[in-house]
A = this chain, B = another copy of it.
Amino acid sequence: MTQALARLSAETLQTFAGRCFGQVGLRPNDAALVADTLVAAELRGVTSHGLIRLPVYLCNLRDGVVDATAHPTLAADGPAVALVDGRRAMGQVAAKFAMDLAIARARDNGIAAVAVRNSNHFGAGAYWAMLALPEQMIGVAMTNGAVAMAPTGGVTPLLGNNPLAVASPAGDEHPIVLDMAQTMVARGWIKLAAMRGQSIPDGWAQDDRGQPTNDPSAALDGSLLPIGGYKGYGLSVVVELLAAAISGAAMGPALENMGFTAGAHEQRTYPVHGVGGQGTGHFFAAIDIRRFMPLDVYTSRVDALIQTMKASEMGQGAESIFLPGEKEFIAERQRRTEGAPISTEIQAELQAASELTGVPVPVA
């Protein structure tokens, strides 16, 4: 067991993060939204997309790289589709606007898709796909991201890990929520191994000559490997098409890195609609289940599928069979009661956010 950590309640974290965002100019509703996405990730145990993102978001807003007061606008509009110009707003602000629109259009048409350009990092994809759940719809969210993987056969990182999230209601069971990047692991795990002087497993990364490597330093000079080799590369290309090519967002290496320094704009090589910011593209879709079958028939079918899998025989060493997103629901239930554990790493980021904004760090 690891040492017990200090814990902070969801409400405390929400208030702190919301106040921080207000200090750098986000409108109250937007500040509450972005804070909620970070707290939700923290509660769900997705710490990589939780409060450790707070200082970099605040810096981007303070420096005007992300426009704190921008309103996303409609750039194209059809019965069941729309194109949103994020206007360099926070990715979360653009994502909420777009996913709400996808849900409304799906209500009218059975399915709808909304692409977004000129946006920024939108946090964890699951948050947006899950907006469909209270509407009894299936939600889909994708985004492109800073380059991480090389095309199969190549050595130059030209595609992001381009996550895909899908959420579906169930009945008595937890909803199914898949949220996955197309690389085997995030770069952070390789950095951690390098810091600790450990080797990395087969399949995680290749070096700068395209050879598989177990050396984290060589991996950091090389690129992350996609899941299933050319299959994960193909999935990443597809997300790039839907999130970026069709939206007019920055594609591939033209996308600014999330953690970039203000003003350090890289040269853009693609025709980009809109200017400045990270240039991220997203793709959202919603599917209204009731257009296909009664909702209770669908949810009982999903429950049956879940129960068949969870009741099936386990392999040696396995303690449980989980559905996608189930561990996160379990973590959230626990943390809503007990509070979220605050590691020293998170504590340092809360402190940094406090120094940037003057908002006092909450104490456990």
Chain A contact residues, CB within 8 Å of chain B:
76, 78-81, 83, 108-113, 115, 138, 150-156, 158-159, 166, 168, 176, 178, 180, 184, 202-203, 206, 209-211, 227-228, 230-235, 237-238, 240-242, 245-248, 251-253, 269-271, 273, 285, 287-289, 291-293, 297-298, 300-302, 304-305, 308-309, 312-324
A79's nearest neighbour on chain B, judged by CB, is: B109
Task: A78-B109, A159-B309, A251-B301 are known; give 8 further A-B pairs, CB within 8 A.
Answer: A111-B112, A111-B113, A153-B320, A166-B238, A210-B316, A240-B305, A241-B302, A252-B308
Q: Which residues of B contact A180 (CB under 8 A)?
A: 228, 231, 234-235
| CB<8 Å pairs between A and B, sample of 24 | A78-B291, A81-B109, A81-B288, A110-B113, A111-B112, A111-B285, A151-B321, A153-B315, A154-B318, A155-B314, A159-B309, A176-B238, A176-B241, A178-B234, A178-B235, A180-B231, A202-B202, A210-B318, A227-B228, A227-B232, A228-B232, A245-B301, A269-B308, A270-B305
Q: Which of B151, B292, B300 is within 8 Å of A271, CB to CB? A: B300
Whether the pair A113, B287 counts as a contact (CB closer than 8 A) is: yes
* A162: min CB distance to chain B, Å: 12
* A164: min CB distance to chain B, Å: 8
A273's nearest neighbour on chain B, judged by CB, is: B293
A305's nearest neighbour on chain B, judged by CB, is: B251
Q: Which residues of B contact A318 (CB under 8 A)?
A: 153-154, 210
Q: Which residues of B contact A78 (CB under 8 A)?
A: 109-110, 288, 291
**Total identical chains:** 2
Whether the pair B247, A292 counts as a contact (CB closer than 8 A) is: yes
Whether the pair A79, B178 counts as a contact (CB closer than 8 A) is: no
Whether the pair A154, B312 counts as a contact (CB closer than 8 A) is: yes
| Bound Cα distance A237, B273 (Å) | 36
Q: Which residues of B contact A232 (CB under 8 A)?
A: 227-228
A249's nearest neighbour on chain B, judged by CB, is: B301
Whether the pair B80, A111 counts as a contact (CB closer than 8 A) is: yes
Closest 3 pairs (CB-CB, A-B): A210-B315, A227-B228, A81-B110
Q: Which residues of B contact A228 (CB under 8 A)?
A: 180, 184, 227-228, 232
Select the residue from A166, A253, A301 with max chain B CB neighbours within 10 A: A301
